[in-house]
Structure 1
Amino acid sequence: MGLLDLLLFFCGRRRVMQVKGYSMWPTLKPKDRVIVRPLNQQTELPAIGSIIVCIHPQQPSLRVIKRLSSVADNQITILGDCPDASTDSRQWGSISQSCLIGEVVALASTPLKQGS
């Protein structure tokens, strides 16, 4: 994590989210904490391949962490790194760009293994 992201976190301009599940394995593991840069409609989209946070298209109260795969006509395609453990655009199709919440900019912490 860069110093700027750390400062912006303390100023409330970055958010910490915790990973649940194995959809982004091996890049992110369950209980990893990530720093998220919030995005809005005026913000430039992250690069293809970036890890992003979106509103779940079928369960709006849930947030999902996936990789941005493509952008076309205000629609985005998002994919998990582990297809066998991921529910993503392979099931839902493309989702509205308005579902995009933010871009993961850093891994804040990884839980320690027991006995470490």
Structure 2
Amino acid sequence: MWPTLKPKDRVIVRPHNQHSELPAIGAIVVCIHPQQPSRRVIKRLSAVADHQLTILGDCPDASTDSREWGRIPRGHLIGEVVALVTRPLEQGS
């Protein structure tokens, strides 16, 4: 999710369940990776259709997202990022 998120940034996520309203289009969300269920991905919600989500990274040239995987099931949505905690730059960075 570069440039929005940088290595070692931390996010606070509001959990989503089947009864929750979906996050707004454009929200940053955490989802189960569609091809590797033990992994989580952070992407931007781009579209919702037929209980499926289109999620895209902020850096199209470097992102693996719905352009490669296709839409993902709504059930893969873990939650919406509601806060970002950035780490201060280290000396010499």
Residue in structure 2 matched with residue 88 of structure 1 by the alignment: 65
Alignment identity in percent? 80
CA-based RMSD of the aligned residues comes to 1.2
Q: Which amino acid aligns with 2:54?
A: T
Higher relative contact order (CA 8 A, sep 6+): 2
Residue in structure 2 matched with residue 73 of structure 1 by the alignment: 50
Determine helix, strand or coil for the equivalent of 1:84: coil
CA distance in 2, matches of 1:59, 1:26: 24
Question: Greater shift after overlay, 41-50 or 101-110?
Answer: 101-110
Q: Which amino acid aligns with 1:96?
A: P
CA distance in 1, matches of 2:87, 2:19: 32
Q: Which amino acid aligns with 1:106?
A: A
Output the TM-score relative to the length of structure 2.
0.94
Q: Which has the higher helix share?
A: 1
Q: How many residues align?
A: 93
- Greater than 4 Å deviation, 4+ residue runs: none
Output the TM-score relative to the length of structure 1.
0.76
For structure 1, list consecutive stretches of 5 or more residues without a partner in the other structure: 1-23
For structure 2, list consecutive stretches of 5 or more residues without a partner in the other structure: none
Q: 2:39 matched to 1:62?
A: yes
For residue 111 of structure 1, report the CA deviation from its aligned partner: 4.5
